Amino acid sequence: MSPVVEKIAHSALFKFALWLALTIAGARLVSWLDTRYAEAGQEMHFTFSVLLLGGGQPFVLSRYKELSETQAKYPDATLILPEGKGEFTGPGEFDRISYTAKNDGQGGQEIEVIESDDDLTAWSSYRVEGDRVIPVKSRVFAPGHTFFAAFWAFVIVALYGPALRFIQRRR
């Protein structure tokens, strides 16, 4: 290893950059690994949401577990959304909600709802067949994923120096 590369590999700035990169990638990986699939019998995340159209408002967002109450409150609302993509601001200041709806050609739709605010991002995918909602998958990206990844990134960076020295001695 050249002296310049060796100096960079042992620098505190490089170790910090490595820790930061591992933390960011690790948090995304943890979120992706925590994706839950209804077909596999996994319970959807608590954030699993369904989007309804109408009900005196452009859109109504309901947690899946509260869907029957939301439908009773907004009897004019429908589960079928305009085909394509849409985005709007939710009830909170930082809430952003977007959806993608694809017609399946048989009167149903495949819908993905992405709900995000300054702390959490939740993906909810489901099928609509008539008046039934069939969950497909859910995923969440939360601050806890970052803390978990930051800890393991710290462990990896702490082991990086001894591992590098061990490799250099073996050469």
Residues 70 and 90 in one domain: yes
Q: Same domain, yes or no, for 69 and 129?
A: yes
8 Å CB contact between 42 and 36? yes
Does residue 131 share a domain with residue 58?
A: yes
Same domain, 52 and 125: yes
Instruction: Tell me: do 91 and 160 sit in the same domain.
Output: no
Residues 26 and 73 placed together within one structural domain of the fold: no
Same domain, 42 and 79: yes
- Coil, strand or helix at 160: helix
Domain shared by 76 and 107, yes or no: yes
1 confidence band (pLDDT: 50, 70, 90): low
Based on the fold, state whether residues 44 and 26 are members of the same structural domain: no
Q: Is the pLDDT of residue 79 over 70?
A: yes
Residues 91 and 154 in one domain: no
Q: Are β-strands 49-54 and 36-37 bridged in parallel, bridged antiparallel, or unpaired?
A: unpaired
**Do 161 and 110 reside in the same domain of the chain?**
no
Tokens found for residue 68 = 């029957």
- Going by C-alpha positions, the residue among 103, 113, 7 that lies closest to residue 50 is 113
At 81-135, the pLDDT tens digits run: 999 998 888 766 668 999 999 998 888 899 999 999 888 899 999 999 988 999 9
- At CA 46, angle to CA 92 and CA 114, rounded to 5? 50
Q: How many domains does the chain have?
A: 2
Q: Mean pLDDT across the chain, nearest whole number?
A: 88
Of the spans 7-11, 72-76, 121-125, 165-169, which averages the highest pLDDT?
Answer: 121-125
Top-confidence range, 16-25, 47-56, 87-96: 16-25
Exposure string for 94-107, b = 16+ CB within 10 A, e = fewer:
eeebebbbeeeeee
Domain residue limits at 49? 36-140
Cα 7 from chain centre: 38
Q: Is the C-alpha dihedral spanning 36, 40, 43, 48 positive or negative?
A: positive
Instruction: Please tell me whether the overall predicted TM-score, pTM, comes out greater than 0.75 for this model.
Output: yes
Residues 44 and 7 in one domain: no
* 3-class SS of residue 97: strand
User: Which ranges in the chain belong to alpha helices (H)?
Assistant: 3-9, 12-33, 67-73, 143-170
